Structure 1
């Protein structure tokens, strides 16, 4: 039930790039872990975002969340066949890191596919090259990807044409997550947040 409520409150981006839904409760949910909405235990102030995953990077290496300990992460879920939203968001990540200069050295941008059926290792490798040189493209089996999306409370679904069209589109949450060196959630950036705003807010967390 929690996941279903979260799905309804997040920004759902259609594969054509249109924002399907934005509810005002999204920020409250992400910031407070959703407990207050269900009358459950009071939030400790730390959002329930992030968690264990095992995936394959764009070089074919198996990676887990533990491999990124000690580094800040900018995590985005999308897919390589996305016509506009995903490349725009990843470009914003790239530009924001560029604005941070040397302060971005300890930040790893991560792109996790929600379309593992088409986003194979070679496809992810080609795609990642279009963005920041430290960009890590992660894929895996559908079940492995589902584990990661559940950890980050990410919604995704094949478009209605998937059964008849190989060039199907995906609906998915479009948020950029900024994670701390211990895998802790720090903040997130909604679709369309300018790179300079991303950089500014990251600096506040870096101190």
Structure 2
């Protein structure tokens, strides 16, 4: 069977092909995150916790800034201080742009991480970092929204905490966009935060 295409049809096809090509080029030229792009995923949402100054903070308080959300505990021997040190380096690399970034350290050990403990631990990495704590219900709500797993593990007469080690980048509108795996390094944080700041 032979199909005949009129001149007008050929013009329409050319326009469609040109449009598709432009869209493809735009998608390809858009900078890619170095962390995992979770922009279209179900991770994230609003939360309310208390900061290390004793002030009640809602996630909406940080809109207009790029937020780095990390879950840990102050007695963590390696994962937490490593990530917090990377974030300190990230703030240095960002220079003037750092003022538009807020790092939030959410404690998964509210039993021991009091306001006083958090106020000593978190700002030791950077004066603008905030430590957040909450009651068991608040902690359960935020960890469910961000798919964080945490549990106590007996350690002699005391205990330690096992917990998810990834960090989340939240854009200026409050949408969770990127997951950065533990150990990715400060350059990954810096790269992806700059992309979000540019939006």
Q: Conserved in 2, the CA contact under 8 Å of 1:58 and 1:137?
A: yes
After TM superposition, give the deviation of residue 31 of structure 1 in Å. 4.9
Query: Which position in structure 2 is the counterpart of 1:20?
Result: none
After TM superposition, give the deviation of residue 204 of structure 1 in Å. 2.4
* Among 178, 196, 199, the residue aligned to 2:187: 196
Q: Which runs of 5 or more structure 2 residues have no equivalent in the other structure?
A: 1-35
After TM superposition, give the deviation of residue 68 of structure 1 in Å. 1.3
After TM superposition, give the deviation of residue 197 of structure 1 in Å. 2.4
Q: Which runs of 5 or more structure 1 residues have no equivalent in the other structure?
A: 1-29, 33-44
Query: Which position in structure 2 is the counterpart of 1:5?
Result: none
Distance 1:48 1:200 in 2: 23
* Among 32, 54, 61, the residue aligned to 1:60: 54
Normalized against structure 2, the TM-score is what?
Answer: 0.77
Query: Which position in structure 1 is the counterpart of 2:86?
Result: 92
Distance 1:189 1:116 in 2: 24
Distance 2:182 2:157 in 1: 27
* Among 42, 45, 48, the residue aligned to 1:48: 42
After TM superposition, give the deviation of residue 83 of structure 1 in Å. 0.7
- Find the residue that maps to 1:129 and give its secondary structure: helix
Q: Conserved in 1, the CA contact under 8 Å of 2:37 and 2:177?
A: no
Q: Conserved in 2, the CA contact under 8 Å of 1:49 and 1:184?
A: no
Larger Rg, first or second structure (1 or 2): 2
After TM superposition, give the deviation of residue 53 of structure 1 in Å. 1.4
Runs of 4+ in 1 over 2 A off after TM superposition: 204-207
Normalized against structure 1, the TM-score is what?
Answer: 0.74
Distance 1:177 1:148 in 2: 12
Q: For this pair of structures, how many residues does the alignment match?
A: 163
User: Which stretch of the first structure deviates more once superposed, 86-95 or 189-198?
Assistant: 189-198
CA RMSD of aligned residues (A): 1.6
Q: Does 1:144 align with 2:135?
A: no
After TM superposition, give the deviation of residue 58 of structure 1 in Å. 0.1
Whose relative contact order is higher, 1 or 2, with alpha carbons under 8 Å and at least 6 apart? 2
Which structure is higher in helix share? 2
Query: Which position in structure 2 is the counterpart of 1:133?
Result: 127
Distance 1:48 1:202 in 2: 20
After TM superposition, give the deviation of residue 205 of structure 1 in Å. 2.6
Q: Does 1:165 align with 2:143?
A: no
